[in-house]
Amino acid sequence: MKRILLVCLGNICRSPTAHGVLLGKIEDAGLSGSVEVQSAGTGMWHVGEAPDVRAIEAAKTRGYDLSGLRAQQVQDGDFSRFDLILAMDYSNYDELMIRCPEESKSKINLFLPFSGVSEVDEVPDPYYGGAKGFDKVLDLVEQAADNLVARFTERTL
């Protein structure tokens, strides 16, 4: 079983969106038994909260259900538990690298470049913007999730 942790700052916008989309794509590909997906934030402000309502609504319009997800914070044990830890942006990547034991640093990557999305490196934070920001996040995350699932089916991860 491959275990993937998707990380943003508060775990209420970007990483739960990526979590829901990637989970949906994995299920559609028939890979549910071989890939586990979780999401977390580097910050603790929203632990236990549902994703942002705007993220839930934007995802719902594309057929993804984020309503059952709850924010959690990255824990020290996550660095050994997960095979891949994919940060949504450089700030969270840097925070993970600071917290991560040396032997697990190779597991940490930026989500978009690792997933083969080449036009940008970071998933922009839509929290302070309007609905279009959540749609942009979905566009990027769907492309990345498609690329990751293709790699799972080719066994190149």
Residues acting as catalytic residues: 8, 14, 125
8 Å CB contact between 88 and 6: yes
Distances from the Cα of 154 to the Cαs of 69, 75, 144, in angstroms? Answer: 29, 31, 15
Q: What are phi and psi of 118, to 5 degrees?
A: -100, -15
Among the listed residues 14, 13, 15, the one whose alpha carbon sits nearest the alpha carbon of residue 5: 15
Among the listed residues 48, 54, 44, the one whose alpha carbon sits nearest the alpha carbon of residue 71: 48
Query: What is the three-class DSSP state of 115?
Result: coil
Q: How many whole angstroms separate alpha carbon 133 and alpha carbon 110?
A: 19
Residue 22's H or E segment, with its range, is helix 14-28
